[in-house]
Structure 1
Amino acid sequence: MAKVETRGKSATVESLVQTCIKLVCQHMSVLEERISDLPASLLKDILPHLNIVYLDRIESAVQSKGISTSFMWEFIFKDLVKTWRCRPMVAQPDCDWKQKSLERLFHVALYTHNRGDKKYLSNLSEQTVLSMTVSYVQTLSVVSRKVCRLATEDLKPILSVLERRADSLKLLDRWSPWTGVETDLLYILHRLLDHGSVKDVEMGRCYGLDLQNWITTRCRRIDRVGPHLNHESVELPVAGTSAGIQGTEPRCSDYTSVGPQRSGSATEEVACKRRRITWLWDMPTEFPCDTFLPKCGPICPKGQINSLDMQVTPFEITNVVSPSLPFWLCLHTLHLHNERLFKDSDLLALVNSLQILCSKPGCLLRDLTMAVNDHTPVDAVLEACPSLTSLSLDIFPPTPGSCNKLIPMRAFKHLEPTVFVLEKLSVKSSHGKVQIDMDGLLSALKQTPNLTTLHVAGIHPASPILCTLAESNKTLKSLTLDDVNLASCHCEILHFLENSLLQDLCLKDCQLFDKCTTNEDFLMPFVETLKGLCSLQTLALPQNRLAKSVKDLAEIFSGDTPSHILKLDLSSNYILPADLLEFGTLVSLHKRSQQPCPRLILDLRLNPLDRDQEVKEQALRALIPFSHILTDNWDSRNTMVDHISVM
């Protein structure tokens, strides 16, 4: 009977606590000033019941009790963003979850009316949510026409805060194309770009040439390029040079149109040239500020874009980007993305435009992303833009009938190779494994002695790249090989690691162990070599079918000279709970003997750890004292077929 009574008392106490929490949350407007009087244990139980306004208001009082509200902001973000598992921020323990969640909530309130039954939004109006979250918006994403509500009188104060706070703008193509440039949208963009702090712009494809042209005029430096230019003095890129980037910079009268319109009479060619120049220079590029002067004030400045990320078609590359690119002196970052490649002649025109821009004394361009053919020499692109510190090339398969027209100048003039200042290089194919101009890539690696970061994806063969890195790129700090077959490159990998100062190594989906009959063939020598690499801090081996071999990887933390790795990514390796338990037992044994030691960030996502929940918990208990574990609730039984297909 006493036992039953004890249970009854326990149930009564729990019910009373929950009732008190509910009452406190209902009367927060009265009690928030005395919230610090509550015990820490009760405060932590109260937090999940509060809306975002009170959660923000009592944050300092809660922190004074030694409680962080970060777990609540993380919960809110993950509740709003169902794809959070795929986002890199979850691998960052110091992520600012409050900023991320409130920025997301701003967009939810702006674009949707159905917010669901969320405790963190209870009793809050749309205006309250927008007013509370707007100061946390760093990037404004335009995803529907509802953004035009910011131009209404009710939301003008919200727009004013965005002007001061937001530094980035995303014009995303998630709805049907705009049929015309809407006045309210232009007004909002004008406030953000010309009156506000936005310097970084990301633009989708559905906005049309008018808006695209208006935005790109903000890439020009006003103090150097005026609105009225003498046509005879303008230098534009030529599209038909056969000698690659050694082509001259013609006057406007020498410019030939790009594309299939070249055939026809001389009169038609002259007319085409005339139309092109008229379109380029005489179309309205200034914002019609007079329309909004009562709203903006007596003076309307003109914004300057420092970073531009554009989704472009071959037509836009040829008719918008290449002609105006030589005047984009404000840009330090330019990312051009297209789903299909343009002709070799159009690529040549683009590279020539880049060369003209980079040759100007006021050019600030340092970071470039663009698409090229698989036969395009990487060193030729670098030669056109020698001041770049970061270059990312998306490699496309060749178009029918294409031939290489981009050739390094030194190939014609027998010059000594140039030493470039490039620090970051990315060469990747999004269209299956391709065999690129390997001589051009290896030449670029040899000419960039200060290279610190290299990312190669979908490129083969890998052996020449690893050998060149070992000999020519001693300062390399970060190497990522993605979808690169390394099954036959074990000797080259070990040789490179023995001669490097790497801090970050990522070998993703590289078939590392496909040709190993035993772990002694490669895994154990690989582990011993990594232990000797004292500079290494991050090791990522996702999608390499480690499985049972993961226990041998634990030896990386063993012995008198253990590895100094602080982050280990073992995601998507078909690690079962029993395998993880063996790994965890060995890691805890090695780490315990090395106390004190920094905590390891361990990524275990997308492994079938749900197969045995009890063993999984055992493994995690062994690892938790020494690791910050990134895991998920992945249902491997329902998605295993998809998982295996991408491994």
Structure 2
Amino acid sequence: MDNTVEDAGGTPTLFELCARVVNANMDKLEEDVWGLPAVVLQGILPLLNIYYLERIEHAAVKKGLSTQSIWCKLWNDVMKSKPSRFGTVTCWRKKFLEAFFHNVLRGILDISSDQRLYDQRFSPLVHSSRHVSELTICNKQQGVTELPPVVLECLAKSVETLKFLHLRSSDQATLKSLKLLLHRLIHYGQVNKVSLLSWPSPDTKLLVLILSISAGFWQQQKNCPCTFCLKQTLNSSTELHPEKRLETNSLTTSVITDPINVQPRNIVEEDVGSQSALLSLQPLNITQNVGTDHSECSVEFPVHQVSKNTHAKNARCLKLSPTACGSKVASTSQNNLLSGSDIQDNFKSETDDLYDFIFSVPSTGEGKTLGIKNGHKEIAKEKPSEVSTVAFSDDLPPMEERSSRMLFFEGAHHFRSVTVLNLHNVHLTHSSCRSLCHLLRSWVSLEKLTMAYNDLGANIFLVVEALSALSRCPGCSLIMFSMGDFKTYVPTLDLAHTILTTFPSLQFLSLSYDLEFHNEKDETKHILPEFKENQLKHLEIRFPQDPLPTEHLISVLKASTFLLELSLDNATFICSEDLKNMLHILAEYNRALRRISFHDMKMMDVHNEIFLLLNSPCLEEIKFSFCRLFERGSEEFLPGFVDVLKRNPSIKTLKLCGNRLGNDGLAALADIYSEDSLSSVQYLDVSSNLIRPEGLLLFAKKLEQCRKIKLRHLSISQNLLDRDPVMAKEALQCLEGVCCVVSDNWDSAQAFADHVSVM
């Protein structure tokens, strides 16, 4: 009998009346309640507010009780949203309190309207902040100015990831508070990952501020002091936290000067939007011969230069302003923030601190033109003796960007910096990209760098040059580089060669973009040096539309003998023999592969090579997505495909979405769960495979005849199940007791009409 539920007439039970009195006097009875028997405590738990429910967690666990269902109900009642069906919530308490903190911080949750959320004896932000491992700051950074020091203390101990989403410009007070918040959480806290997401038109000052503090730089100013810097000088900080501090040396002094308004030596900047920005990129030192009638076009990475100036070892730190952090936040307040900012930007800089590419281009005084061919710059009708190094006249950035400066200048110190940086959908102008690159040059603690849809264009050359400089720094830690963009000027495998040559110990490489001004006829003749042996464990490449140079892909696969994961997307081969050769290389040189993914590739004529891959004893997951696998010769291929799966006990995940499997193919796949099968496939994805209800029902009936079924998850989305809803429902009911089925209400007729309309 559940004593916590009121009877049919609405009268509370005696137990519930007592429990309500206990709940109202928890400030006095808390320790006594913790000592109650488990059967009594179980009835009281649902009546407690979130503050005491969180505090009683330890006592409840010791008595064998779980509060997860209570926190889950709170989530459904308060947040009114459901987690992703593919996500697994390991702790509802943490999930609720982390979301609760963000909603209170932004003033979008009225806690006074629910007695479970309000208690005048507790601060909502202080109580929930200890559960915030990922702090999200969005829009105009609402609530940042109102964070009291006690909340910052809690956040510094719990937050490991900082996420910035849809940021907008804010007033000066908010910017100062944000600066102190970043300094506290990154330099003195536990934050090791910073993500900037969905910021298509970033405020340059705010962007540089976040990047600079993430890279470890901090400049004490009278109007923005820090109490933690007050407690110890820079020297004592280094002694107390040697593992969290980077020594202020020649590697760090070179990046704290002004990267925008100072004219650097031997630097060439180009209009990113013009064709003149197209340059050849090859590893480190490049000499591009363009014929006897043309001079050489070279790109060199100069030796790392450092300033002779050194930073002061001790900095005078000022007392914390009482208005910097604000007072206790009101739980339902909304912040009306003004736009604009006023950041100090007058400082000195040394030209010796700046360095960049050296481009050898023709003198413009003779009125010569530049030709573009195959993504490379060619010098029209110039002799080698007429080549000279020149600086472009459009070196100055647009007026709105000239006021943006690096916020950390002479006297800045290098504190603890983050190890993971993610820039997703953050548009990088030429000047902001330069600011990022000057930080990257000595960001030796950086382990993972992800850049996605930053509209880099020709700025990719700045990024690669900065990474090259970083690779020469002692203690460089980069093991992961991921770059996805709309279009850039470097052939994918050329960039892969440059990155792997620069970082031979890189473990994760992901490249995905289209190629600008690409000539596929010349690309097949492009000569690229052989890839050298590397330490790659994960390689992920999405190729442009044009046929790829197979010999280059084979070269990188041969050199990557430690690969555990491989993903190839949109790889177009000139002929099927090239694809067969690549698959043979995989089976011969990459025997440690555990996960393989092929997407949007024509693989209907490489059946024997697929069998070769499926025989691998290490393979755990394989994906053929929209590869037209069963389009041709499926009568002979399908039985062999099933047979090789039955003999391989290592494969646990099989994804075959979009391969025209059909009813017969799905029925054949049921045989991999027969009694004589060694298969361990637990996850099967057959979505988008023209499967009808009768085919799904036949598959379900065949599974019912199997004694030991290892299938745990079946995805059948975007099939033709709407053709007979009654039969489809019957099939799904048969599968309910076998595995978890992911389906949808896909309208196949409308989808076909949409497809025809865009043809």
More helix by percentage:
1
Q: Distance in 2 between matches of 1:182 and 1:264?
A: 47
Per-residue deviation, 1:605: 5.5
Cα drift, residue 382 of structure 1: 1.5
- State how far apart, in whole Å, the 1-side matches of 2:48 and 2:428 are: 48
Whether 2:308 is the aligned partner of 1:195: answer no
- Taking the aligned partners of 2:702 and 2:683, their CA distance within structure 1 comes to 17
Name the CA distance, whole Å, in 1 between partners of 2:746 and 2:19: 39
* 2:23 aligned residue (29, 33, 36): 29
- 2: CA distance between counterparts of 1:225 and 1:485? 52
Alpha-carbon deviation of 1:421?
0.8
What is the CA–CA distance in structure 2 between the aligned matches of 1:573 and 1:192, rounded to whole Å? Answer: 49
| One-letter amino acid matched to 2:651 | L
Q: By how many angstroms is 1:285 displaced?
A: 1.4
Unaligned runs of 5+ in 1: 1-11, 290-299
What is the Cα deviation at residue 386 of structure 1? 1.3
Q: Which of the residues 556, 572, 580 maps onto 2:672?
A: 556
Counterpart position of 1:296: none
Distance, in Å, in 2 between the alignment partners of 1:604 and 1:495 is 27
- For the pair 1:425 / 2:536, whether they are aligned, the reply is no
1:168 positional shift = 0.8
Rounded Cα–Cα distance in structure 2 between residues aligned with 1:65 and 1:156: 35
- Report the aligned-residue RMSD: 5.0
**Share of identical aligned residues, percent?**
23
Instruction: Find the aligned partners of 2:181 and 2:749 in 1 and give their Cα distance.
Output: 43
What is the correspondence of 1:51-200 to structure 2 with a 5 Å cutoff? 52-53=50-51, 56=54, 69-70=67-68, 80=79, 84-85=83-84, 88-90=86-88, 95-114=90-109, 129-147=124-142, 149-152=143-146, 155-172=148-165, 174-177=166-169, 182-200=175-193
Alignment-derived partner of residue 338 in structure 1? 453
Query: Cα distance, 1:620 vs. partner?
Result: 5.3
Q: 1:53 deviation in Å? A: 4.8
Q: Residue 89 of structure 1 aligns to a residue in which SS?
A: coil
2:417 corresponds to: 304
**Matched-pair contact (CA < 8 Å) for 2:492–2:511:** no
Please identify, of 609-618 and 306-315, the stretch whose mean Cα deviation from structure 2 is larger: 609-618
Match of 1:397 in 2: 515
Matched-pair contact (CA < 8 Å) for 1:547–1:574: yes
Structure 1 position 453 matched with structure 2 position 565: yes
Question: SS in structure 2 opposite 1:327?
Answer: coil
Q: Secondary structure at the match of 2:668?
A: helix
State the match for 1:359 in structure 2. 472
Pairwise CA distance, 1:483: 3.0
Give the C-alpha shift of residue 304 in structure 1: 1.0
TM superposition shift of 1:424? 0.6
User: Unpaired segments of 5 or more residues in structure 2?
Assistant: 27-32, 217-245, 258-263, 270-278, 287-299, 306-351, 367-387, 574-578
Paired amino acid for 2:511: L
Distance 1:71 1:577 in 2: 36
TM-score of the superposition, structure 1-length normalised? 0.74
Alignment check: 8 A CA contact 2:192 2:419 kept: yes
SS, match of residue 702 in structure 2: helix
Displacement of 1:207: 4.0
Deviation at 1:393, TM superposition (A): 0.6
Could you tell me whether the CA contact under 8 Å between 1:380 and 1:440 is conserved in 2? Answer: no
Q: For the structure 1 residues 476 and 402, does the alpha-carbon distance in structure 2 shift closer, same or farther, using more than 3 Å as the test?
A: closer
Alignment of 1:363-442 (within 5 A): 363-371=476-484, 373=489, 375-377=491-493, 378-399=496-517, 411=529, 417-428=531-542, 433-442=545-554
Task: Encode CA deviations 1:488-531: one digit per residue, 9 max, x unaligned.
Answer: 44333222222462111122333333346x6x343332222122
Residue 307 of structure 1 aligns with an amino acid whose one-letter code is: V
Distance in 2, matches of 1:332 and 1:409, equals 31
Deviation at 1:106, TM superposition (A): 2.7
Of stretches 443-452 and 603-612 in structure 1, the one that deviates more from structure 2 is: 603-612
How far 1:167 moved relative to its partner? 0.7
Q: Distance in 1 between matches of 2:63 and 2:736?
A: 25
- After TM superposition, the score normalised by the length of structure 2 is 0.64
Name 1:250's counterpart in structure 2. 302
Check whether the contact 2:716–2:741 (CA below 8 A) recurs between aligned residues: yes
* Greater alpha carbon shift after TM alignment, 388-397 vs 530-539: 530-539
* Contact persistence 1:166–1:198 (CA under 8 A): yes
For 2:656, the equivalent position in structure 1 comes to 541
- Contact 2:137–2:163 (CA<8 Å) still a contact in 1? yes
8 Å contact kept, 1:545–1:573: yes
Deviations 1:565-598 (A, max 9, x none): 23333455565665444333332432x2x3xx76
Distance 1:576 1:54 in 2: 53
Shift of 1:246: 2.1
- Tell me by how many angstroms 1:366 deviates: 0.6
Cα distance in 2, alignment partners of residues 379 and 61 from structure 1: 57
Post-superposition CA distance 1:217-263 (Å, at most 9, x none): 443644444664599xx999988787642254425678568899996
* Bigger Rg, which one: 2
SS in 2 for 1:479: strand
Aligned residue runs from structure 1 range 220-231, under 5 A: 221-225=246-250, 228-229=253-254
Change (3 A) 1:51 1:281: closer
Deviations 1:169-225 (A, max 9, x none): 1112x2545587822222222222222211211124444333333443443644444
Q: Which structure has more RCO (C-alpha within 8 Å, separation ≥ 6)?
A: 2
Secondary structure, aligned partner of 1:145:
coil
**Counterpart residue number, 1:297:** none
For the 8 Å contact 2:205–2:405, the answer to whether it is kept is no
- Specify which of 404, 407, 414 is matched with residue 284 of structure 1: 407
Q: Does 1:444 align with 2:559?
A: no
> Corresponding residue for 2:314?
none
Tell me which amino acid in the other structure corresponds to 1:459.
A
For these two proteins, the number of residue pairs brought into alignment is 593
Whole-angstrom distance in 1 between the partners of 2:622 and 2:52: 43
Match of 2:751, as an amino acid?
V
For the 8 Å contact 1:262–1:269, the answer to whether it is kept is no
- CA deviations over 1:282-330 (Å, ceiling 9, x no partner): 84316999xxxxxxxxxx9833111111234252575223344321111
**Residue identity in the other structure for 1:36:** A
Instruction: Identify the residue that residue 318 of structure 2 maps to in structure 1.
Output: none
Partners of 1:262 and 1:24 in 2: how far apart?
Answer: 91
